């Protein structure tokens, strides 16, 4: 029998190249490896890439796809095995799928009817760079049943079956939004969350370490959105981000809200007669505007945080607004008393028209501030709910946006009430 040395050589070469290919996948957190992976894939033929993708897991295929430039993504997508297409289509439709933060290291899967001794032998003989902490227990079709921490194997008899010592943890699909997956992990008693594909087969794990990274990114994104900073949210340190990148992130909201701020000037202009008749009203305008902006931002921040932690849902909108209304009544009453005292003592000796007293002026300004706080608090609580209803991130209701809105409403309330009381 003759031996085809050329075929053997090609096979060995392709095996070596495939191992190098996997090595790049396991180290995608390194920017150099990302670039090498892209160059490596572009050098291979479509037939070779297709064979490699058939061997890899869904998790590894996704990470390859995720790192490629736009031009190569569709090519890789067409070469993927048919059983992965439905999962990939669902993953592609999600903005932040949990699979993007899961480790690319493969996981061991065992049938539930094998014994501890058999599992230990298989682990010792495994040559793959597999996850060393958790293994999956699957059924006859390879679908997820249980998880088992590897350190539990040494705590049970060698004759015990894996199904009897394994632990069930509620899984989530690989396309689940990473924030939802982290919330599920937070409410779990375990330190990891199993990820399954469309067929119910194990695809990976979300661990506490990855969850902490997701929380950090989401908190950064929420804080930036609350402060009106838009654009890509990455992990680039502040000092390494260029000046132009900072300008690009910040200028959109600043310019837009400056244009909206013209409405405040229009409100003031429409009440210029009241200001000319009683110039002291201009003295307390900043106090009313600032107080409204602070009250609205406080309410919005509390609601956004509660929604991010899963404490509030859209269905609770009535309870939220009723609670914030009651809160604003107490805060408004306290600020009204303080503002009345401030006006009463600071405006002693001020030049006022004959029919207006300092006490009447203090009552008018206190009443305007009272209603401004109520209005601003309710608006600040309602806007995140409205954003959620419109399928937007609640944090998109930026603090500068709320400040601008309540500035306009606050000036309307201020001039209307003071004009009604003092100039009627």
The tens digit of pLDDT for each residue in 79-115 reads 777 777 777 778 777 778 888 888 767 778 888 888 8
pLDDT of residue 131: 66
Total Cβ atoms within 10 A of residue 353: 10
CA pair distance 308, 300, nearest whole angstrom: 12
Distance between alpha carbon 190 and the CA centroid of its chain, in Å?
22
Q: What separation in angstroms does the CA of 374 have from each of 227, 251, 300, 357, 414?
A: 22, 31, 13, 26, 13
Looking at the structure, tell me whether residues 80 and 175 fall in a common domain.
no
Task: Report residue 380 as tokens.
Answer: 């600040």
Mode of pairing for the β-strands spanning 144-149 and 134-138: antiparallel
Does residue 13 surpass a pLDDT of 60?
no
Are 373 and 413 a contacting pair, CB within 8 Å? no
Looking at the structure, tell me whether residues 59 and 115 fall in a common domain.
no
Total Cβ atoms within 10 A of residue 89: 12
Look at residues 214, 241, 274 and tell me which one is the last residue of a structural domain. Answer: 214
Does residue 402 surpass a pLDDT of 70?
yes
According to DSSP, residue 204 is labeled E
Tell me, what CATH number does 409's domain have? 1.10.357.20
pLDDT of residue 246: 63
Q: Kindly state whether residue 365 falls inside one of the protein's structural domains.
A: yes
Looking at the structure, tell me whether residues 286 and 341 fall in a common domain.
yes
Of residues 18 and 39, more confidence is placed in: 39
Of residues 228 and 357, more confidence is placed in: 357
Does residue 221 surpass a pLDDT of 70?
no
Confidence grade of residue 11 (pLDDT, cut at 50, 70, 90): very low
Q: Kindly state whether residue 98 falls inside one of the protein's structural domains.
A: no
pTM: 0.55
Q: Kindly state whether residue 372 falls inside one of the protein's structural domains.
A: yes
Residues with Cβ within 8 Å of residue 203, at least 6 apart in sequence = 57, 58, 59, 99, 102, 174, 195, 196, 197
Looking at the structure, tell me whether residues 120 and 196 fall in a common domain.
yes
Looking at the structure, tell me whether residues 25 and 158 fall in a common domain.
no
Confidence grade of residue 1 (pLDDT, cut at 50, 70, 90): very low
Looking at the structure, tell me whether residues 297 and 369 fall in a common domain.
yes
Q: Kindly state whether residue 223 falls inside one of the protein's structural domains.
A: no
Length of the chain: 424
Average pLDDT over residues 395-419: 79
Looking at the structure, tell me whether residues 299 and 384 fall in a common domain.
yes
Q: Kindly state whether residue 254 falls inside one of the protein's structural domains.
A: no
- Residue that has been written with the tokens 């249980």 in this structure: 146
pLDDT in tens, 112-169: 888 888 888 888 887 666 766 888 998 888 889 998 888 888 888 888 888 888 888 8
Looking at the structure, tell me whether residues 279 and 344 fall in a common domain.
yes
Q: Kindly state whether residue 115 falls inside one of the protein's structural domains.
A: yes
Domain span at 358: 261-422
- Number of domains making up the chain: 3
Q: Kindly state whether residue 27 falls inside one of the protein's structural domains.
A: yes
Mode of pairing for the β-strands spanning 202-207 and 192-196: antiparallel
Looking at the structure, tell me whether residues 41 and 153 fall in a common domain.
no
Average pLDDT, the chain: 76
pLDDT of residue 12: 38
CA angle 133, 138, 143 (to 5 degrees): 120
Look at residues 214, 246, 272 and tell me which one is the last residue of a structural domain. Answer: 214
Total Cβ atoms within 10 A of residue 298: 19
pLDDT of residue 10: 41
Look at residues 214, 248, 277 and tell me which one is the last residue of a structural domain. Answer: 214
Are 214 and 182 a contacting pair, CB within 8 Å? yes
pLDDT of residue 7: 36
Q: Kindly state whether residue 238 falls inside one of the protein's structural domains.
A: no
Q: What separation in angstroms does the CA of 67 have from each of 41, 87, 108, 203?
A: 11, 17, 25, 19
Looking at the structure, tell me whether residues 44 and 86 fall in a common domain.
yes
Looking at the structure, tell me whether residues 287 and 367 fall in a common domain.
yes
Tell me, what CATH number does 134's domain have? 3.10.580.10
Looking at the structure, tell me whether residues 283 and 197 fall in a common domain.
no
Does residue 398 surpass a pLDDT of 80?
no
């Amino acid at each position: 029998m003759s031996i085809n040395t050329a075929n053997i050589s090609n096979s060995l070469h392709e095996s070596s190249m495939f191992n190098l290919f996997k090595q790049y996948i396991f180290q995608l957190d390194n920017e150099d490896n990302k670039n090498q992976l892209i160059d490596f894939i572009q050098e291979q033929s479509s037939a070779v890439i297709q064979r490699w993708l058939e061997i890899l897991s869904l998790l590894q295929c996704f990470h390859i796809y995720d790192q490629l430039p736009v031009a190569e993504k569709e090519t890789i997508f067409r070469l993927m095995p048919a059983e992965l297409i439905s999962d990939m289509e669902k993953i592609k439709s999600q903005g932040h799928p949990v699979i993007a933060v899961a480790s690319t290291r493969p996981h061991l899967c065992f049938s539930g009817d094998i014994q501890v001794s058999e599992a230990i032998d298989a682990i010792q003989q495994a040559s793959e760079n597999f996850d060393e902490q958790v293994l999956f227990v699957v059924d006859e079709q390879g679908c997820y049943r249980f998880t088992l921490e590897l350190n539990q194997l040494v705590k049970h008899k060698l004759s015990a079956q894996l199904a009897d010592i394994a632990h069930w943890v509620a899984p989530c699909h690989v396309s689940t939004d990473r924030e939802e997956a982290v919330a599920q992990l937070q409410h779990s008693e375990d330190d990891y969350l199993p990820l399954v594909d469309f067929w119910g087969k194990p695809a990976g794990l979300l661990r506490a370490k990855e969850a902490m990274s997701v929380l950090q990114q989401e908190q950064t994104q929420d804080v930036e959105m609350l402060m009106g900073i838009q654009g890509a949210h990455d992990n680039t340190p502040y000092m390494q981000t260029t000046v132009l990148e900072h300008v690009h992130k910040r200028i959109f909201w600043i310019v837009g809200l400056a244009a909206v701020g013209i409405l405040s000037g229009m409100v003031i202009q429409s009440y210029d007669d009241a200001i000319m008749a009683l110039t002291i009203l201009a003295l307390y305008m900043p106090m009313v505007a600032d107080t409204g902006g602070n009250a609205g931002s406080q309410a919005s921040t509390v609601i956004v945080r509660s929604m991010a932690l899963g404490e509030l849902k859209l269905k609770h909108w009535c309870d939220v607004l009723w609670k914030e209304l009651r809160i604003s009544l107490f805060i408004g009453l306290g600020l009204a008393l303080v503002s009345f005292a401030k006006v009463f003592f600071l405006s002693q000796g001020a030049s006022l028209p004959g029919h207006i007293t300092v006490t009447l002026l203090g009552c008018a300004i206190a009443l305007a501030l009272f209603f401004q706080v109520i209005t601003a608090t309710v608006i600040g609580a309602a806007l995140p709910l409205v954003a959620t209803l419109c399928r937007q991130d609640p944090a998109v209701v930026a603090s500068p946006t709320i400040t601008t809105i309540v500035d306009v409403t606050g000036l309307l309330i201020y001039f209307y009430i003071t004009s009604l009381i003092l100039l009627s």
